[in-house]
Structure 1
Amino acid sequence: MSFLKRPNDFLFRALVIVASTSLAVLCLLVIYSVVMRYVFSDAPDYVEPIALLLVIVIAMFGAALKVREGGHIGLDSLVKNLSEKGQAIAAGIQHLCLIAFAAAVFFGCLQMAETTIDDRIPIIGIPEAVRYLIPVVASVCIALFSFEHLLALFVKKQK
């Protein structure tokens, strides 16, 4: 199991750094934009497209981080009332669904990235595909983290 845990530990730390840095940069960028707009009446036009990319990074990488931590939005009152075996089955189904979701995001966003690679984001001039490559990376992380949880369930079952 350590063959997947160690790389996932590194990946988790990298995602934390990128998401945290993105959040800090987003805060500074918004403050800068507000000061420039309301104090100097000179709002920079590049803030909005950069902020949108940062929000995508924060949301998608944050979702992957919550998968690794085992956190999710949901009602677990039913699952808590199940037997230990029932809870393990529910957790397995949850992670299989997350892997299916990650695969759908991966292939859908990859296709969108391929079709928008020649388009440019107005003002900042980078390829439009960047918006779709961020969820591609996050979906790979979600699948890896879910697979790690499935392996942990399987190893626990074997003991």
Structure 2
Amino acid sequence: MDLDMQADDSTATPPAAIVWLTRINATLARFGMYAAVAGLLVLVAVVFYQVFGRYVMNSSPTWTENLAIVLVLYVTLIGAAVGVRDAGHISLESLMVLLPEKARRRLEILIYAAVGLFGVAMAYNGWILGSSVAHYLLPNLHISEAVRYVPLVLSGILIASFSVEHIIAILRGEEVVPSWN
């Protein structure tokens, strides 16, 4: 498809596969953000409990630090994936607006392709790393060490899917509507 083409009819119905991808991605992004916010609230509670135990009860719980680290991984990686979908990431738009429309669109496609490949690499390498440590247990939590790599895999898959959605939207001359609208 030529990058110069704009949608001839703004009321034209997109193909069913694109509608399906958009609905799935919007739903995944919305639930991902809900999960990240819930994880952040649990993280605050765990850290509060750790501080309370250490300074008030004079008996710091041993499991809170490991759980806090795992929660930070989930919150940041899932939140980063949602940031890709809803275009909440840092960008240099001031430089992009100086480019002609055709060059800007090509650069946006290149950027989302690179981000998507990075997501695929995250998912693949997270899977490899997680499976290599799956038989080890996290100290004080007594769960598999692989739990630390699950958010890396999930985030990578989501980033790749969200990047594909953005590339399709750019080719169609549209924008991805954030999942919060």
Pairwise TM-score range, normalised by the shorter structure: over 0.9
Within a 5 Å distance, the mapping from 1:66-105 to structure 2 comes to 66-105=83-122
| CA-based RMSD | 1.2
Instruction: Give how far 1:114 is off.
Output: 1.1
Paired residue for 2:74? 57
- Bigger mean CA deviation after superposition, 72-81 or 15-24: 72-81
Going by fraction, where is helix more abundant, 1 or 2?
1
Gaps of 5+ in 2: 1-17, 175-181
Report the 3-state secondary structure (helix = DSSP H, G, I; strand = E; otherwise coil) of the residue aligned with 1:156. Answer: coil
Paired residue for 1:117? 134
Q: Report percent identity of matched pairs.
A: 32
Instruction: Give how far 1:77 is off.
Output: 2.2
Instruction: Give how far 1:93 is off.
Output: 0.7
Q: Which entry has the higher C-alpha Rg, 1 or 2? A: 2
Residue 154, structure 1, aligned to residue 176, structure 2: no
- Inter-partner Cα distance in structure 1 for 2:27 and 2:35: 12
Gaps of 5+ in 1: none
Aligned residue pairs: how many? 157
Residue 107, structure 1, aligned to residue 120, structure 2: no
- Inter-partner Cα distance in structure 1 for 2:89 and 2:33: 17
Instruction: Give how far 1:84 is off.
Output: 1.6
Instruction: Give how far 1:39 is off.
Output: 0.8
AA of the residue aligned to 2:27: F
Residues 58-116 of structure 1, C-alpha deviations (whole Å, 9 max, x = no match): 11011101101112223332212111222211110110001110111111111011111
